[in-house]
Amino acid sequence: MATCPPGPAGARFPRRPRPGTPPTPPGTRPLDADKYENDPELEKIRRERNYSWMDIITICKDKLPNYEEKIKVFYQEHLHLDEEIRYILEGSGYFDVRDREDQWIRISMEKGDMITLPAGIYHRFTLDEKNYVKAMRLFVGEPVWTAYNRPADHFPAREQYVRFLAQTA
């Protein structure tokens, strides 16, 4: 695994998980990040969810051009008009998402974890104190990376997500 010198801390500390947070859902087989190039479980997810496009990004001072700037952009609260799908292959980091009461929930992401953030959810990403993550980015069709910083409540994707939250209350 590549190593990077420690960077500035600050936002990069763990928060306690919510009590009762369930582990991997029943009936779900774990992904094997060491075999991501030939993992039938990953292929199944991609096929079922139509994740036709993918690439791999390494977020690390020595490997990512404009690292400092990108880190700030990732940590700015924003939304997308499409799903954001990430699969951690090495290293770790945190996704923060807003809950129903508009409070942050910190999601710890480690090797083998996959997350799908729905279109219209406010979120942000940060590395942790290890300052290194290698992740697969997946997308339905051609990727669109545009991030809309908060406030971005006027987008139909946001309105749809808010309606979804209301229905599941």
Residue 84 labelled as part of a binding site: yes
Considering the complex, what minimum distance in angstroms separates the CB of residue 30 from Fe ion?
Answer: 24
Cβ closer to Fe ion: 32 or 119? 119
Cβ closest to Fe ion, residue 7 vs residue 118? 118
Reduce the secondary structure of 47-102 to three states and give it as a string.
Answer: HHHCCCEEEEEEECCCCCCCHHHHHHHHHCCEECCCCEEEEEEEEEEEEEEECCCC
Residue nearest Fe ion, CB atom distance: 84
Cβ-based nearer residue to Fe ion, 84 or 113: 84
Q: Residue 146: which residues within 8 A CB-CB, separation 6 or more?
A: 80, 81
Binding site for Fe ion (CB under 5 A): 84
Determine whether the annotation assigns residue 159 to a binding site. no
154 is in an annotated binding site: no
CB atoms within 10 A of CB 156: 10
Burial class (CB in 10 A: 0-12, 13-18, 19+), 61: middle
In the complex, least distance from residue 84 CB atom to Fe ion, rounded to whole angstroms: 5
Q: Round to whole Å and give the CA distance between 166 and 120.
A: 14
CB of 19: closest distance to Fe ion in angstroms?
27
Taking the complex as a whole, the smallest distance from the CB of residue 79 to Fe ion amounts, in Å, to 7
Q: What residues form the annotated binding site for Fe(2+)?
A: 78, 80, 84, 123
State the binding site for Ni(2+).
Answer: 78, 80, 84, 123
